[in-house]
Amino acid sequence: MKASVLVFPGSNREADVAQAIELVTGRKPAMVWHGDGDFEKTELIVIPGGFSYGDYLRCGAMAAQSPVMAEVKKRAAEGVPVLAICNGFQIAAEAGLLPGVLMRNENLKFVCSDVHLKVETSQSLFTNRYQAGQVIKVPVAHAEGNYFADAETLKRLEERGQVAFRYCTPDGAVDGTGNPNGSIRDIAGVFNETKTVLGLMPHPENAVEPAFGGTDGKALFEGIVEALS
């Protein structure tokens, strides 16, 4: 599988996700600078976490206007899978690749901790290695991860199965107590309508080796490789 990882001024998780991809594919991904309006053909595009453009204006707002994002939107429309993590999720939402917005955390504080996620569906190229209802543990690190969408959008997301992950307790209860940021309906990740774009605030790339404290994120990358092989 050939993958490409975008790099913006202020990105800080591009090396992490590149390492995760290499771990499961045996191949280093291409690193694509934000100013490149075109880049080589690829089977997966990753928008990593960090603080693109210093999070000025709104998180992801400036990065969404970068030359590379016009090409990402074009390729996403053609069906090329896009994985958008943390700041990448913010960028994808600002660019219109995903519904909803990411706001300041409810407690107005930066949160950095492990969280539990309930897998809502296994029917996607990103989640096919998980079981629906499975609980996984991965870290989060953000100040603006509070997902919000209007009632009509939420209804559409639920009806079409576009919610990928929800924050939960270790035993899988989705009752708000496992929610680190106030995200509406405990949503931690969403798909686009075709489930070829996934945005999530937690960092699966930081849960791929035992030395990291857990490997629950590895299956996400393995599932992508399996789906695209």
- Residues designated catalytic: 86, 203, 205
Residue 52 sits at φ, ψ, to 5 deg, of -55, 130
Q: Note the Cα 28 to chain centre separation in Å.
A: 20
> Reduced to 3 states, what is the DSSP secondary structure of residue 113?
strand
* Closest residue by Cα to residue 201 from 66, 50, 9, 73: 50
194 conformational bin, left if phi > 0, alpha if psi -120 to 50, beta if neither: alpha
Q: How far apart are CA 160 and CA 162, in angstroms?
A: 6
Helix intervals (H) in the chain:
14-25, 67-77, 87-94, 151-159, 218-228
CA distances, 93 to each of 89, 169, 171, 187, 198 (Å): 6, 26, 30, 14, 10
